[in-house]
Amino acid sequence: MLERITGPRDLDALSGDELEALAAEIREFLISEVAKTGGHLGPNLGVVELTIALHRVFDSPRDPVVWDTGHQAYVHKLLTGRQDFSRLRQRGGLSGYPRRAESEHDIVESSHASSSLSWADGISRAFASTGQADRHVVAVVGDGALTGGMTWEALNNITDDNDRNLVIVVNDNGRSYAPTIGGMARFLNSVRVTGGYRELQEGSERFFGRLGAPGRTVYRATRGAVRGFVSRASGNQDLYSNLDIKYVGPVDGHDLQALEHALRQAKEYGRPALVHVITEKGRGYAPAENDEADQFHAIGQIDPDTGLAIGGGGGPSFTGVFGDRIVELATENPRIVGITAAMLAPTGLEAFANRFPQRVYDVGIAEQHAVTTAAGLAYGGLHPVVAIYATFANRAFDQLLMDVALHRAGVTLALDRSGITGPDGASHNGVWDLAILQVVPGIRIAAPRDEATLRELLGEAVAIDDGPTVIRYPKGPVGDPLPALRRTPEGVDVLAETADDGADVLFVTVGPMARIALDAAALLAEEGITSTVIDPRWVVPVNEAVTELARRHRLLISIEDGIRVGGVGTRIRQALRDAGVDTAVGELGVPDEFPEHATRGELLAEAGLTAERIAADVAEQVRGTRIPIARPE
């Protein structure tokens, strides 16, 4: 049946039994296909019926559907004509998130949470002001995203001017990556699990109060009636007592008839309305349903029958090493505390939380709050370590600048998935952190190249209490050790030297890019070109040993997997100019573009960050002729 669906309107003629069969087929398809490629399985299994109902009630793309975060849009892709999942999240295949280049049905590409309501607010205002009163806007937001401040900023404005067609669907499964935390989570959980049952004649009440008000109803389709679930948990407090938005629900998110009924009510209202949908992450797949950690939120390749991972290996990961080391440091130093933004396990803080549960704080999907509360923790005498993905640090820039750095607070940011990450695509590549964060006065940024330097640098970072420190490391295994030949008195590691007193080229590497530099240096040595490879370890500020070493070389090449514009190479060029060093500088990094979804290796090659490409280009600069080294296209 799925093959017959080429667009949303193909759903209109299907009977109730056919829709149920389609839902079952979609689940089988997702389990089979995502098991081969990896991806976000659990979230998509949970929104099968919801997505079908949305596309039956609303007319996408005329009625835009905005998916908050977007990792749960696989079913949306299937229903909008994209059913080749063979290269999901791979070069040339479907993106793991909504992408405008794929379909007119994809509206918002960002894969960061809590922004959908702001998008919907803006779109609906535009429709209202341009006379498009027959168009609706739908924002699908998870309960986890309700922990983000942007959601509440948007709600404040949505309810200020409410003469427009805007439907907010709260997909409430009690989880973000892991179980949702905080007062909002406790409230929604009380709605989900307390109360009694009654039946209401269909249409007897159009809406059932505001979110948090007594009389809330979980819609489940029955013969000629709606079976209601009444929450008594909210007492006299109305969560939205100061907001003017109509509430429908809670609705059983796996009952197609009930979903359509509730969504049509919201659509016909003509003003902003909120539909509260209760779903189960991982629905219909026992391994996901039984996974207490994250219900198969994001997986690699798995055996679809058992749910067990296949392949993998590669030794310890940077994330795992960080997780082990932070526990060691916290054991030695009771002032160290951890902060996560709803990603305890993915960022490596789970072992810390298990060992010291009172010293790790999950603030929800709220990176801005995480960094400012860290400043407060530092003021109170602690040393907080905020562990987040590098791409999400972009959101917390102002807080790092004005709350942490301005107040010289001893806060460490551990930025996982820094640099090129690959399959998750444009918004998840952590290529902006170096360029953005290095403008913060007094900041210190370290980039470990292997396991030993990550352990070492993290220990150095948490010992600094007079300003922010950053440790940034990539996704994936730490690889083989890269020992230094020697360390300068200033703390710079010299990894390779092919000349005793100065050389043709000085390679200055950032973190794991040291491996590529060493390989390039070996290729150059075969051609008689001498080089030195160094790892500053702390890449910001520029170590004075870097400028002094540069004096003894004809050419300095910096290599980073962040964007070249405003990157470490730019900082080094400025430092050489300030020191009166006239060594030529070549800055290698990622172009100021949004990297597409592909493997890390493919994206590095596309950016020219391979040993062969670098050696060929350097030889041309040193000798004026290109050496005969294979250069990948």
Report the predicted TM-score, pTM, of the whole model to 2 decimal places: 0.85
219 pLDDT band, cuts 50/70/90, is: very low
- Which single residue is written with the structure tokens 């390749």? 301
Can you say which residues are annotated as belonging to the binding site? Answer: 71, 111-113, 143-145, 173, 285, 367
How far is residue 234's CA from residue 268's CA, in Å, rounded to a whole number?
27
Answer whether residue 525 shows pLDDT above 60: yes
- Give the chain's mean pLDDT: 85
The DSSP symbol for 399 reads: I
3-state secondary structure of 620: helix
Q: 116-125, 177-186, 363-372, 554-563: which has the minimum mean pLDDT?
A: 177-186
Answer whether residue 220 shows pLDDT above 50: no
User: What is the topology classification, in CATH, of domain 489-623?
Assistant: Rossmann fold (3.40.50)
Determine the pLDDT at residue 183.
57
Do 43 and 281 meet the contact criterion of CB atoms below 8 Å apart?
Answer: yes
Answer whether residue 199 shows pLDDT above 50: no
Beta bridge partners of 59: none
Paired sense of beta strands 486-487 and 493-497, if any: antiparallel
In sequence order, which ranges of 462-610 are alpha helices (DSSP H)? Answer: 514-526, 544-550, 568-578, 600-606
Quick one: tokens of 345?
């396990």
- Mean of the pLDDT values across residues 557-582? 94
Is the link from the previous residue into 250 a cis peptide, with omega within 30 of 0?
yes
> Within 10 Å of residue 229's Cβ, how many Cβ atoms?
22
The question of whether 36 is a catalytic residue gets the answer: no
- Which single residue is written with the structure tokens 């087929």? 25
The percent of residues above 70 in pLDDT, for the chain, comes to 85
pLDDT tens track for 334-374: 999 999 998 899 999 999 999 999 999 999 888 999 999 99
**Class of domain 2-196+266-289 as given by CATH:** alpha beta
The question of whether 367 is a catalytic residue gets the answer: yes
3-state secondary structure of 246: strand
Answer whether residue 610 shows pLDDT above 70: yes
Can you say which residues are annotated as belonging to the binding site for Mg(2+)? Answer: 143, 173
Determine the pLDDT at residue 247.
85
Backbone angles phi, psi at 524, to 5 degrees: -65, -35
User: Any residues with CB less than 8 A from the CB of 205 and at least 6 apart, and which?
Assistant: none
User: Any residues with CB less than 8 A from the CB of 563 and at least 6 apart, and which?
Assistant: 431, 432, 434, 435, 589, 590, 591, 592
Can you say which residues are annotated as belonging to the binding site for thiamine diphosphate? Answer: 71, 111-113, 144-145, 173, 285, 367
- Choice among 82, 175, 216, 395 that is catalytic: 395
- Choice among 246, 281, 325, 537 that is catalytic: 281
The question of whether 281 is a catalytic residue gets the answer: yes
Determine the pLDDT at residue 312.
63
- Mean of the pLDDT values across residues 535-559? 95
pLDDT tens track for 69-113: 888 899 999 999 999 888 888 888 888 888 988 999 999 987 678
- Choice among 33, 289, 350, 367 that is catalytic: 367
Determine the pLDDT at residue 503.
82
How far is residue 538's CA from residue 81's CA, in Å, rounded to a whole number?
49
User: What's the chain's Rg over C-alpha atoms?
Assistant: 27
How far is residue 370's CA from residue 339's CA, in Å, rounded to a whole number?
7
Determine the pLDDT at residue 150.
85
Choose among 453, 450, 367, 449: nearest CA to 413.
367
Sequence ranges of the domains in the chain: 2-196+266-289, 318-472, 489-623
Is the link from the previous residue into 541 a cis peptide, with omega within 30 of 0?
yes
Determine the pLDDT at residue 181.
53
Do 415 and 348 meet the contact criterion of CB atoms below 8 Å apart?
Answer: no
pLDDT tens track for 422-469: 787 777 888 999 999 999 999 999 999 999 999 999 999 999 999 999
Quick one: tokens of 403?
């709350």
Q: Which CATH superfamily is domain 318-472 in?
A: Thiamin diphosphate (ThDP)-binding fold, Pyr/PP domains (3.40.50.970)
- Mean of the pLDDT values across residues 319-325? 96
User: Any residues with CB less than 8 A from the CB of 283 and at least 6 apart, and which?
Assistant: 27, 45, 46, 48, 254, 289
Is the link from the previous residue into 61 a cis peptide, with omega within 30 of 0?
yes
Quick one: tokens of 481?
């050790």
> Within 10 Å of residue 547's Cβ, how many Cβ atoms?
19
Q: Tell me if 2-196+266-289 shares its fold with 489-623.
A: yes
